[in-house]
Structure 1
Amino acid sequence: MEHMSEQFPREPTVPDLANFTTLFHGGFILSAVDVFNAHSSPVISRIEETFARHDIDGFALCVHPDAAVTTFSREDRHAIAVGDIFDNHGGSVRDVLGDLLETRALPATLGRTDLGGRHAVILVEDGHFTVFNDPFGSRSVHYHLGEERAVSSHAVLLAELLGAKRGEQVGPYMQSEDYSRQKVRYLPGNITSWAKIRRLPPNHLFSSRFNATARYWPVEHWSESSEDVLFGHLDRAFDMLTTYLRGRYDPVLGITGGSDTRTVAAGFLARKCTFTGVTWQNFNFVDRERKVVEKICATHDIDHVYAKLDKNDVALEALEVNAHYAGGEFLAKAPRARAMQDAFSKMAPASLPKAFIIGYGGEIIRAFYAKKGRHHKAALSAGEMSQLYRYTDFSKENANFVRARFQDFRETAHMDKKSLRGFPPHDIFYWEHRMGMWGAATLDTFDPVMPALVGINSRKVFETALRLPEKRRLNKDLQMRYIAMQVPDLAAIPLI
């Protein structure tokens, strides 16, 4: 390929295994017992030493010691939820898991669920498993295309277990000038650094029986909804999230001049859910934003710290390496993990573990990829996906590589007209690719500092937003109207 950039290391990342449990907070790996017992590596040895192992119907499930595990069984069928999980409908998670075990129409039943948090759910029956994740896709799930059926939260865990080979074209692509010029760097399609390991898109399940993915949402054809319905679902999502957090975590929220983080802050303030605010002083921070941030915090008596990336702090080098490793090694680096550690060191001690509530979700609501007239399209071609992914022109070789990956993704993620049922394809592509791939990996990089959850993570919220006319979502006015309903004086402070 073209001239190589020094942006990325040529050799695989070497993590600090002495601090292994900080690497994969909330993580898991599942494989057949004989597959797990047959493989060994330093990473797998550390999993055996530190993770909790559950043997379920011929499978070995190893789970991070801090991860919540919710189980439900009926006869020889088992459902296991790993991670933070709650029902945005207000019901019982165990009841939802029971319904999923009972149904003979799993995709349709699953498509109507709305389980918030950051989690993966595994269903085991007849020597096979099915796995899916939360609506946003914030809990990364990876699966293997080979004969050895296995899934994991982090790609590197699966790669270590199976001795997976790295993709021959992926490394050179990440070393290229084209990739280094991308404003947001992540891989095209659902590939990883390893040849046969793939990321599971949101709204999809992976079945070991068929060694394939299946789309389970949307269930119904598109029809127009209303702003009132959307705001009702947002209210319920914030009700459920703040209720879940109380007594479990001490929340940390980003405070910026933008609308996405402010929407989340409004949801918390309206429900009197206290939190610590954090603002990055790097990463496009401007002086006029400081005045807005400080006014928000002063008006609402928010404890607040600034996070600053110190590139010369050698003590944080290992943290950044670990964060890069946990994120799957395809993000340029993990500087925000360093900055978050700086912020964490300035925060007052708390009796509960801190959790970063990242301001994701709002961009799905406000049609981030939308262009005038594009909502009339029924599906996107691989070339159109490539155009949305790329910020600049690529060399012919890289352009062909990217296009081929999106052709694969179009099939794997079932991005055809029939499957999308009239919903705007560019919005679904943004949700399932930009957020489900890059966004989820970004959360993985925060875990070595503190666990992270998405501020807006509700399928009903996203679905209802996509049912609104596009012109109602193309700017930030929709979010500001919701903020004004929640906390009027917060909406009066200008956006940056």
Structure 2
Amino acid sequence: MNAEAIPLLYKFGYLAKAGERLKLASSLKSKLPFWREYFFNELSLFAHPDLPITFSTKGNNNVVILGHAFNPFSKTLDSQLVCDKLASFEEESSAFFEEMDELSGRFIVFAKFKNVWRAYPDGFSSKMRYFTKESSPTLSSHVNLLAEATGSSIDFDMYAFITSEAYKKKDVKNLPGLKTEFENVYVAPANHSLRLDNGALTRFWPRGNICHKDTELASNVLISYLDGYSDYIAQNFDEEIFGLTGGMDSRTMLAPLIAKGVKLNTFTQLRGSQSNLADLKAAKALAEKFNFSHRVIDVSSQDARVNGYFSESRKALRTNGGPHRLNTVFSTDALYNAYKGLNTLTNYSRGFGGEILRGFHQRNGKKLKVAEAEHFSKIMAIHAQTALSIDAFAEQISMLDYDNCYDADLYDLFYMEHRMSKWGANSMNETDVAVHTMVGFNSRKLYGASMGLPIKEREKRDSFKDSITYFCSELLKVDIV
């Protein structure tokens, strides 16, 4: 890999282990020449130099935060203040979790209480936690990085899965269960802590019933969240890259950014489908009405997909995404080439999380109450009836606690913990190459307020409309696709 690709490799990434100091393999040292080493009370870290790291010690408690963490509800927008508060709690107290539930950003919290280190995700689990399934696991942001650091071998059953015709035809490319392309390497999903002394996953959300019929509550929580989120963006970044579409999720995220005067540099990807052309028309209308900088990034043609197939940027993207993302990086590479000249402190707020708020898998209006491997396999819909897929989901069910989810819809939890914690979060590892990326809708408090509503109320998306009206009602005058 040449000098152009090295700065792109595992951008904003990390390696972590508790109890013993990490040692980089010689092959990695040449790929990570600028990475920094840290050691916090037996927590060993290697981190990309641009990854924010915050730490705090209160008595015998230790907290380390990797990434951006802030509380949009209390408007605690300083990660150090967040870190100090988390360190002040007792181990896994209700107050600790309530504070964690309100946080947004893109981060992992490492907390050591009573001599045990645990790793906690943000609501979306947008900062990946790949881990080796063993006592004293090693963690990493990127699957290839962890495999190379630990010497993990390719899983040939998973390799057969990702090279099959059924897999190639799917737009959302994901692997069954918590499995990855490598032997003994797994993904720690949303809503679960990971113990660094034995590799155990423990569910910590939901911690009680969430169902309610208070639509005003859902709107107020979303408005409060977006108010704090947009303040954080305005205070910490010079410019916001924004994927402009004609949809409701995009517009809901856009409204508070406009209200706060955030400098917006917008784009729309042209994919060639009829629905995408309608998206593009609406995006152009929005850009013209609000005088945004706007560009169209064409990824619709075969030439756009193949041109530069073996470029250094695509090599880095394939390495960052992992083997199961092998031929999906052309659109992100186009994004990289469009924005690689930026010299400002820039962020890209993706509209991820909106699907969680409005419900994605609840197409028949019925809640899922029991976790079954066969059903999970059918939802993913790639080799759904094969023993490989069913066994992988059976293993996921055995590793996670689905018997203690109170009245939450397991469709929602499956979508959060399988699709978004794996496919969604990993795709952000790729867009990091172009520009630092955060989930626009990311907080367990936010998710719970919407997930608790009946699905018919969620489908109306009234909280989205109320938020747009509150921040920038003019956005509703351009047709929503």
Does the pair score TM above 0.5?
A: yes
Match of 2:6 among 3, 14, 20: 20
Q: Is this contact kept in 2: 1:82–1:120, CA < 8 A?
A: yes
TM-fit CA distance, 1:33: 7.1
Check 1:439–1:460 CA distance in 2 against 1; reply closer, same or farther (3 A cut): same
* Residues 370, 474 of structure 1: 8 Å contact kept: no
SS at match of 2:51: coil
**Aligned-residue offset at 1:151:** 1.1
Match of 1:470 among 442, 445, 455: 455
Query: Which runs of no fewer than 5 residues in structure 2 stay unpaired?
Result: none
Distance 1:88 1:299, change over 3 A: same
From 364, 370, 380, give the equivalent of 2:371: 380
1:259 aligns with 2:248: yes
Secondary structure, counterpart of 2:156 in structure 1? coil
CA–CA distance in 2 between the matches of 1:225 and 1:272? 34
| 2:61 corresponding residue in structure 1 | 77
Q: Tell me: CA distance 1:107–1:317, structure 2 relative to 1, closer, same or farther (3 Å).
A: farther
Confirm whether residue 273 of structure 1 aligns to residue 262 of structure 2. yes
Deviates more, 1:147-156 or 1:291-300: 147-156
Structure 2 residue 25 is matched with structure 1 residue 40: yes
Could you report, residue by residue, the CA deviation over 1:174-233 in whole angstroms, capped at 9, with x for unpaired residues? 111121122311111111111111111111110023321001111221330422222222
2:383 is aligned with 1:355: no
Q: Distance in 2 between matches of 1:132 and 1:482?
A: 29
How many equivalent residue pairs? 470
Matched, 1:174 2:169: no
1:184 and 2:172 matched: yes
Give the match for residue 291 of structure 1: 281
Matched residues in 1 for 2:314 and 2:83: separation? 37
TM-score (norm 1): 0.88
How has the CA–CA distance of structure 1 residues 431 and 33 changed in structure 2, closer, same or farther, with 3 Å as cutoff? closer
Cα shift at 1:481: 4.0
Residue 54 of structure 1 and its aligned partner are, at CA, apart by: 0.9
Change beyond 3 A, Cα 1:478–1:323: same
Seen in structure 2, the aligned counterparts of structure 1 residues 105 and 75 have a Cα distance that, compared at 3 Å, is: closer
**Secondary structure in 2 aligned to 1:474?**
helix
TM-score by length of 2: 0.90
Is 2:404 the partner of 1:410? no
Aligned equivalents of 2:211 and 2:425: distance in 1?
29
Q: Is the CA contact 2:174–2:324 (under 8 Å) kept in the aligned structure 1?
A: yes
Pairs within 5 Å for 1:209-220: 209-220=197-208
288, 298, 317: which one pairs with 1:323?
Answer: 317
The 1:170–1:61 alpha-carbon spacing in structure 2 relative to 1, beyond 3 Å, is same
Q: Displacement, 1:317?
A: 2.4
**Equivalent residue, structure 2, for 1:311:** 305
Q: How far apart are the structure 2 equivalents of 1:258 and 1:369?
A: 19
Determine the C-alpha separation between the residues in 2 that align with 1:255 and 1:306. 10
The reply to whether residue 88 of structure 1 matches residue 72 of structure 2 is: yes
2:442 maps to which residue?
Answer: 457
Is 1:157 equivalent to 2:151 in the alignment?
Answer: no
Residue identity opposite 1:372 in structure 2: N
Equivalent residue, structure 1, for 2:406: 421
Query: Could you say if the C-alpha distance between residues 283 and 359 of structure 1 is closer, same or farther in structure 2, counting changes exceeding 3 Å?
Result: farther
C-alpha contact (below 8 Å) 1:108/1:216 kept by paired residues: no
1:111 is matched with 97
Check the 8 A contact 2:247/2:279 in 1, yes or no.
no
Alpha-carbon shift at residue 486 of structure 1 (Å): 2.8
Displacement of 1:34: 4.8
Cα separation, 2, equivalents of 1:253 and 1:121: 27
Counterpart secondary structure, 1:453 = strand
What's the offset of the Cα at 1:340? 0.4
2:270–2:280: 8 Å Cα contact kept in structure 1? no
TM-fit CA distance, 1:452 = 0.8
Kept in 2, the 8 Å contact 1:190–1:409? The answer is: yes
**Quick check: 1:57 aligned with 2:48?**
no
Alignment match, 1:6: none
Q: Which amino acid aligns with 1:388?
A: I
**Rounded Cα–Cα distance in structure 2 between residues aligned with 1:70 and 1:35:** 19
Distance 2:401 2:272 in 1: 35
Aligned-partner SS, 1:106: coil
Runs of 4+ in 1 over 6 A off after TM superposition: none
Q: Give % identity.
A: 21
Contact 1:108 1:219 in 2 (8 A): no
Aligned equivalents of 2:93, 2:61: Cα separation in 1: 17
Q: 1:193 and 2:181 equivalent?
A: yes
Give the 3-state SS of the residue equivalent to 1:224 in structure 2.
coil
Asked if the contact 1:100/1:106 (under 8 Å) is kept, the reply is no
CA contact 1:52–1:64 (8 Å) conserved in 2: yes
Shift of 1:319: 1.3
Cα distance in 1 between the residues matched to 2:294 and 2:365: 42
> RMSD of aligned C-alpha atoms?
2.4
Q: Residue 384 of structure 2 contacts residue 390 of structure 2 at CA under 8 Å; is this kept in 1?
A: no
Checking the alignment, whether the CA contact within 8 Å between 1:28 and 1:63 is kept in structure 2 is yes
